[in-house]
Amino acid sequence: DPYSEIVTECTLSIERFPFLIDHSIDGTPYHPGVMAMEMFAQSALLLYPMCNLEGFSDVNFGLPIKLMKEEARVRVKAEFSGQDHNSLFIQCHIESDLVNSKGEIFGEPRIHHEALVRLLKEGASRDAKMSFTDSPGRGNASFQPSFIYDRFFHGPRFQVHGGLIKGISDRGDMGADGIALLRNQLPDTQLFEEEPVLLESLPMLIEACFQNAGLVAMEVDGISSLPTGIKECEVLKIPAKRGDLRVRSYRRGQEEGGVTIHDAMIFDRNQKPLVSLT
């Protein structure tokens, strides 16, 4: 079946993907989880170009992809796994080979990240469930981005948070409202060597959700953390080029090992949801 699976390969380098420079920990570039999700979305849409991206389910961020050398080669495997009346389901993972000092491949590939991509069929209507129904106000930042990035490792291309507006609560669950930046509002807008690059999954807005939730966890739990996964992610609407976006997130609980659970959403200037994470 020509539409059952597709395998794509990508060579990561800071020259081709400058955003890697600004997603480094202790000088080592880490390929961001949101960009792995983007690779999944693009692979799924290569399989079914007549569809639109609906969202993701069961996203699992596993072994990090680190650039220990000048380049890292990875593969994305995308495979049809089912459908319903509205959607096609494409199971994806990103993998890399184990290579010895002689450049020889050995053993089984390492699986890094996994997700189920949901594609909306042509002519179908969305059946999305929102993380919550309330939306943030239009207040200005009480804490500027400098406050945030004194605490986070992200460089200018990944400084997607425009400032904290206020703390909030929902039936005892603590949260925060903030400003989410569009790609053209980032301190450094060149994410790729060759711009403009069309992105399907709004990765920088998903990243803003992660960072907003991370600030809440830092305040409530006193921990600095990285995302481990997403249960459900809805990609609802493409923002206007001159958007004035807001992010709201709630801390819903904590699992073993210090993993905190959050709901998060991005809203446009008309309070319409763009992205929803559970």
150 with 112, same domain?
no
94 with 153, same domain?
no
112 with 150, same domain?
no
161 with 262, same domain?
yes
45 with 158, same domain?
no
In single-letter form, the type of residue at position 22 comes to: D
Identify the burial level of 251 via C-beta atoms within 10 angstroms of its C-beta, where 0-12 means exposed, 13-18 middle and 19 or more buried: buried
55 with 153, same domain?
no
Q: Is the pLDDT of residue 140 over 70?
A: yes
Q: How many domains does the chain have?
A: 2
98 with 168, same domain?
no
Q: What is the percentage of the chain residues whose pLDDT exceeds 90?
A: 90
pTM of the model: 0.96
56 with 109, same domain?
yes
Domain final residue pick, 85, 120, 155: 120
| Residue 259 domain flag | yes
| Residue 140 domain flag | no
Mean pLDDT of 140-153: 95
| Residue 138 domain flag | no
pLDDT tens by residue, 29-87: 999 999 999 999 999 999 999 999 999 999 999 999 999 999 999 999 999 999 999 99
Confidence of residue 114 (pLDDT cuts 50, 70, 90): very high
| Residue 15 domain flag | yes
CATH number at residue 252: 3.10.129.120
CATH number at residue 21: 3.10.129.10
| Residue 77 domain flag | yes
Q: Is the pLDDT of residue 241 over 90?
A: no
Asked, as a colleague might, if the bond just before 2 is cis with ω within 30 of 0, I would say no
65 with 150, same domain?
no
| Residue 31 domain flag | yes
Q: Structural domain of residue 74, as residue ranges?
A: 5-120
pLDDT score, position 243: 83
154 with 267, same domain?
yes
Least confident of 136-145, 158-167, 211-220: 136-145
| Residue 134 domain flag | no
Confidence of residue 102 (pLDDT cuts 50, 70, 90): confident
215 with 157, same domain?
yes
109 with 165, same domain?
no
